[in-house]
Structure 1
Amino acid sequence: MNGQYTLRKVSTLSIQPIRIFGDPVLRTAAEDVDTFDKELRNLVKDLLDTMRDEGGAGLAAPQLGVSKRVFTFDVDDVVGHIVNPLLEFPDEEEQDGPEGCLSLPGLYFDTVRRQNVVAKGFNEYGDPLQIVGTGLMARCLQHETDHLDGIIFIDRLDSERRKAALTEIQSQDWYNEEVKVKVTPHDSKGVFFKR
């Protein structure tokens, strides 16, 4: 080269802002994906890039303001995505442990989840896929599917834990007190459990 041209590296990352607790999109059930096209593949890329940038274990489309039933995950070196997931539970075994969310940055609350789960859905091209999860993967699959149903993990807490969580949330710098937050007073366990 004679100096007329310089090479520059163009970033191919597509990091998007994450919606924070209180945003109504997080409380809205997402729509099924019915078209497996380039737009969906771009959404999956945005989810993966944003999730990795934030260091999250999972990220659902509503967290980027997109009301579609798709999420990504990165658990125990298993990275992937699932479209239109349906969860099945092979047994009644439960786990109770810390859970966090990129839409509630920096906060973790002990949450009861099923220990084992099978997620059935599709990949970004419309091919069927199945993910068998236990432990942390099972927790992630349930957490992200909840996002697609307009449920935030603090809805899964018992009333004592939920009250403590809301107090902690309200003390955060990112909390917007002008946003009216409603949390269901009903037990939301079983909302998406297939029995």
Structure 2
Amino acid sequence: MEMSQLRASGTVRPIVRWSEPVLHTPARPVTDFGPDLQALLADMFATNTAAEGAGLAAAQVGVGLAVFVYDCTDENGKRRAGVICNPELELPQGDERRLVELTEGCLSYPGGYAPLARPSHATCRGRDHHGEPVTVTAAGILGRCLQHETDHINGMVFGDRLSARGRRQMRTLHEEAVSRYPDDWPVSPAAPRD
């Protein structure tokens, strides 16, 4: 499938929550780039769009494959969308490394946000939806998304990177908001804020 078809043909799936083991287990590599993967990716794009996310890893729809989709803006405000299978993340080192603290959230922990410092930019190498080599380098929201989604591939959620105080803050916000999100969200929409 072409990218435009992937982004327009999927079915929204429920997003699994942090309590699910699939989110805390390293994903297995993608080896088959056939129709099953294409259908999964189309569903992931549809789910990410319905949830108004920046990116979504396969684990977040309950599939333990090393792949994520992204659809967000880069440091120049340009909207970019794509797929990275079997991602390998490269972060700046030495004098090039600069941390930026931004408020981060996760679709698998709805309503929970906390400030998190991450490197200002990242490069992610892997395979696209056809199995061809792909490299994405970005700062801004996309740069953070590359890091966040690669964490999911490695069985890590962003809360694992927070201090105890940050986890408490995030948990409080999540507990205040979670009743708005049905168990099958975003198949069923979240209730409006009061």
- Per the alignment, residue 11 of structure 2 pairs with 14
Letter of the 2:151 partner, please give it: D
- Which runs of 5 or more residues in structure 1 are unaligned? 1-10, 175-195
User: Within 5 Å, which residues of 2 pair with 1:1-195?
Assistant: 12-76=9-73, 77-90=79-92, 91-174=96-179
Q: Higher relative CO (CA 8 A, sep ≥ 6), structure 1 or 2?
A: 2
Instruction: Give the Å deviation of 1:72.
Output: 0.5
SS of 1:95 mapped into structure 2: strand
Letter of the 2:138 partner, please give it: G
* CA distance in 2: counterparts of 1:136 and 1:23, whole angstroms: 26
Letter of the 1:136 partner, please give it: I
Aligned pairs, number: 165
SS of 2:100 mapped into structure 1: strand
* CA distance in 2: counterparts of 1:79 and 1:57, whole angstroms: 9
Q: 1:22 to 1:172 in 2, by over 3 A?
A: farther
Contact 1:112–1:157 (8 Å) recurs in 2: no
Structure 1 segments (4+ residues) deviating >6 Å = none
* CA distance in 2: counterparts of 1:54 and 1:167, whole angstroms: 21
* CA distance in 2: counterparts of 1:36 and 1:101, whole angstroms: 27
* CA distance in 1: counterparts of 2:168 and 2:53, whole angstroms: 25
SS of 1:129 mapped into structure 2: strand
Larger Cα-atom Rg: 1
Over the matched positions of the two proteins, sequence identity in percent amounts to 37
Contact 1:95–1:135 (8 Å) recurs in 2: no
> Normalised by the size of structure 2, how large is the TM-score?
0.79
Instruction: Give the Å deviation of 1:65.
Output: 0.4
Instruction: Give the Å deviation of 1:167.
Output: 4.0
